[in-house]
Chain A
Amino acid sequence: MSNGETQRAVATVPEDWTPTNSPDPLVRAKHGLIGAQVSRLDGPLKVRGEARFAAEYVMDGMVYAALRYSTIARGRITTLDTSAAEAAAGVVLVMTYPNAPSMQPPPLFLTGPKAAGGANLPVMQDDSIHWNGEPVAIVLAETPEQADYAASLIEVAYESSPPRTFEEARAHPRTPDSLVGQAVEVLVGDAEAALIDAPHSVDLTYRTPRHNHNAIEPHAVTLAWDGEELIVHDASQGVKGHAWTFAQVFGIDEEQVHITSPYVGGGFGGKTLWSHHLIGAAASKLAGRPVRVTLSREGVYRLVGGRTNTEQRVAIGADDDGRFKSLIHTGISAMTPYNGLAEQFTFPARHMYATETLKTDQQVVDMDMLANSFMRAPGESVGTFALESAIDELAIELGMDPIELRLRNEPDKDPSTGLPYSSRHIVDAWRGGADRFGWEHRAEPGTRREGEWLIGTGCALGTYPYHRFPGGAARITLDKTGHATVAVPAADMGMGTSTTQAIVTAERLGLPLERVAIAYGDSSFPGNLLAGGSSQTASIAGAVISAQRALVEQLLALASDESTLAGLTADEVGGRDEGLCELADPSRWQSYAEILRQAGRDEVTVEAMASDPAEMQAYSMHSCGAIFCQVRVNATTGETRVDRVLGSYDCGRIINAKTAASQFRGGIIMGLGLALMEDTNFDERTGRIMNPSLAEYHVPVHLDVPAIELMWTDIPDPYAPAGARGIGEIGITGVGAAVANAVYNATGRRVRDLPITLDKLL
């Protein structure tokens, strides 16, 4: 289309539009660039190393920070001698709890629209210690080397109480207040009784360890106070939430906090607000100097929560045909009294299979540890490992193909809510994936061997819910040269958000891609957006729908009486070929540039809120995928290698085939890590993470990653803006089970305890 081909007009959406009353016009037909392979727009900057990350801003008079962390999990500080550190060369400030300014505890994530605290503990306000690794001192110095050295000179002693361990605390678990705002327990009929009565059943326990995000960019912040104004160069998944939360902690207005975070070196749920932000800002205030805090890799493990461990029971009862009479998914996870994330691993069982009876329930055990947090697909990542392993085990019990078993339990409505699905084509994804993978060539467990390698294949369902958060807004500025800039306070941590939204906006406005710019990662932009819950694409697209409507209304008001568009309403026009046209008669067209020129305007700017996400109440909305893999397991050493992965997805419309593929592959690769190697070693006796480094916490490397084939149904969801349901997190889901099921197929050995390390196969 940018080669001069005439575009079809894309209608504006009605004024009272919500996704539930009519589909977004962009959903109706596949348009121009939507679904094409578009290279990311920030690519040239990133391959040159010119994209500036949080620790790469230089402020006048800036000092460097170094932190000291507690070495006990529970107790209090008895001795804190900072004199040697204060006397060391280049030291500007040593801040500990006695001289730290008063700060309110950060409001906990999900307790308000912009609350962003990973924990709601007070930060450096008294001598108490709550986790092993809690920061006890910050040193500011002229150089990083001086700060690091001085921090090592601080003498700290503690009075220590034994931390609560998982094994002790599990005897008295508690029910969390909610699972990310939803009911903890879901009951349909009497699932326990139905399980007993079912002719075929499995009743199994699965365990998953702690995980850490390990974004390659360590958490960092460069900040300065200008009077009561706080200027922050951040690495943030949600600049609005960070600004508001900073403001609550320091008792200022959120407008007094100015956060920019245009580039984020990976997030995966971890780049939220943690104590280094607050300690850094407090120290900067005390010292009267700009401060840069860059956490060491170990520091990230000490200060930034990861995924908690889980112990899950999945029980399924089925009749002779494999139809579920009972589906039970319950379990416990470790948590703290000062955070709110139980890791909602029972969610997939609520929404994915038809069953006569259903029971899901979760409990938590409180431990003395760093608050656990959101990590890519919190809940679904580890929940699908248990559920989809159990279905594989049931298939073996039934002597049935595991795909056939899943298809026999395909629901026609959401089994827990009774809501219709907005769009569900997972059966197509299963069939297409099985064909392409060559599933029919699968051998019986433990029967295929090539040299010292046992070969097996496995599959599993992946799933992640659709989210669109309320409060999204967008500002569009259209100038007389026909360039549009969309400003949204979103984050692009590499998901391709800016490129994807440029495509959507270009199509909606009828502009070539190169005439659209997306400005993001700035807390001064309107509305509230968050790179979380795989929500950003739909949330921004929803906001742009409203903003475009406002823009068109303003342009029509500006159009002169002589304009060919005179007298038309916003409902009657659409964007096409760098201008507006009448939908019924596209020859009635006027360019944006001409409308502005005739009105004597250099530009117009509009701002609008997105409609409420009513679709989430009216429909059960989930991205789904069928994951296939082939592994080989060394018969002598027990080493597992993954040789092939295929992901067949049903996620609504795919907007940018190139960056979407990277999102899927990236998730799958993190799933391979979850399956085979990732494990945060937590010392139960001391509450300390024992492998806080990339040398000892293993993530997949080049040699671990095979070719990963992808396919998608590309059927737009009529109830999602732009038809897109979200793809950022689903990639990691299902992979753990697909690998475990393939390992079983290769060896006849079932591993129910991640990661599948070689010791478990010897």
Chain B
Amino acid sequence: MIINGREAPAPADARVSLLDFLREHLELYGSKKGCNQGACGACTVLVDGERVLSCLALAVQYEDREVTTIEGLSSGGGLHPLQQAFIDHDGFQCGYCTPGQICSAVGMVEELRRGVPSYVTDDLTATDVAFGHDELRERMSGNLCRCGAYNGIVDAITEVYAEQAS
């Protein structure tokens, strides 16, 4: 599979989750393990641009897929605009859920652009879903932040994506 643009051979042990593969085999510790059962979102990575809970994925399922982790979101020492916005809006405290929040937000915006409805979308048949406060919060609700930096996270995502997503 391709991880952040680099090829990596799938693990020999079929039990290895994508998250453990990233962390323990490749030492890409940016993706976090918070619950290992898909309840907290800290392990969120992008696979071919879609957000995936890497703790619920087996690494061997992802052969030939392109995986982007927080380490691959920006290049050359710079910051992705959303990473900068998280700093500006204090969208984190301890920083543990942060890589998952950021990867999830990047994937979430793509879902909005594709017109994928959510629980709070009024018209489930619409192909055009407006970027809004409730849409954003509902779609990010799979990413827990126990420090409670939610307001800053929402502000950061809104600053970066409100215009381009709508």
Contacts and interface: CB of A to CB of B under 8 A. Distances in A.
A265 B147 CA distance: 9
B131 interface: no
Q: Which among B13, B38, B148 has the highest number of chain A CB atoms within 10 Å?
A: B148
Interface in B108-166: 120, 134, 136-138, 140-154
Q: How large is the interface on A (under 10, 10 to 19, 20 to 34, 35 or more residues)?
A: 35 or more
Interface in A296-346: 296-297
B34 A47 contact: no
B27 interface: yes
A562 to B, nearest CB: 45
B8 interface: no
A42 to B, nearest CB: 7
A171 interface: no
Given A216-B145, A294-B33, A702-B137, A47 B94 contact: no
Given A40-B87, A143-B13, A693-B35, A49 B94 contact: no
Contacts of A707: 151
Contact of B93 (A52, A496, A700): A496
B146 A42 contact: no
B42 interface: yes
B36 A296 contact: yes
A214 interface: yes
A658 interface: yes
A165 interface: no
Interface string A185-225: 00000000000000000000000000001111110000000
A47 B148 contact: no
Contacts of B99: 47, 49
A665 interface: yes
Given A56-B23, A694-B144, A705-B137, A49 B71 contact: yes
Given A49-B99, A216-B146, A494-B94, A144 B141 contact: no
Interface of chain A, main secondary structure: loop
A145 B84 CA distance: 36
Interface in B26-53: 27, 29-40, 42
A698 B96 CA distance: 19
Given A40-B90, A702-B153, A216 B37 contact: no
A265 B90 contact: no
B96 A43 contact: no
Contacts of A42: 95
B151 A705 contact: yes
Contact of A48 (B15, B30, B36, B137): B30
B98 interface: yes
Interface stretch (A92-100, A397-405, A534-542, A667-675): A667-675
A627 B29 CA distance: 39
Contacts of A144: 20, 24
A707 to B, nearest CB: 7
Given A662-B149, A670-B148, A47 B102 contact: yes
A628 interface: no
B35 A694 contact: yes
Q: How large is the interface on B (under 10, 10 to 19, 20 to 34, 35 or more residues)?
A: 35 or more
Interface of chain B, main secondary structure: loop
Contacts of A44: 79, 83, 87
Contacts of B94: 215-217, 263-267, 493-494
A264 B27 CA distance: 19
A264 B151 CA distance: 21
A664 B34 CA distance: 23
A762 to B, nearest CB: 23
A693 B96 contact: no
Given A48-B83, A218-B34, A702 B138 contact: yes
Q: Which among B69, B97, B146 has the highest number of chain A CB atoms within 10 Å?
A: B146
A710 to B, nearest CB: 10
Contacts of B38: 695
A46 B95 contact: yes
A39 interface: yes
A659 interface: yes
A297 B35 contact: yes
Contacts of B71: 48-50
Contact of A145 (B16, B33, B137, B153): B16
B98 A699 contact: no
A419 interface: no
A668 B148 CA distance: 8
B88 A47 contact: no
A666 interface: yes
Contacts of A496: 93
A702 B141 CA distance: 5
Give the 7 A-B CB pairs with smallest separation, nearest first. A49-B30, A494-B93, A46-B95, A265-B96, A494-B94, A669-B148, A666-B148
21 contacts: A39-B88, A47-B83, A49-B98, A49-B99, A214-B146, A216-B34, A218-B34, A266-B146, A266-B147, A297-B35, A297-B36, A494-B92, A496-B93, A659-B90, A662-B152, A665-B152, A666-B149, A694-B37, A702-B136, A702-B143, A705-B148
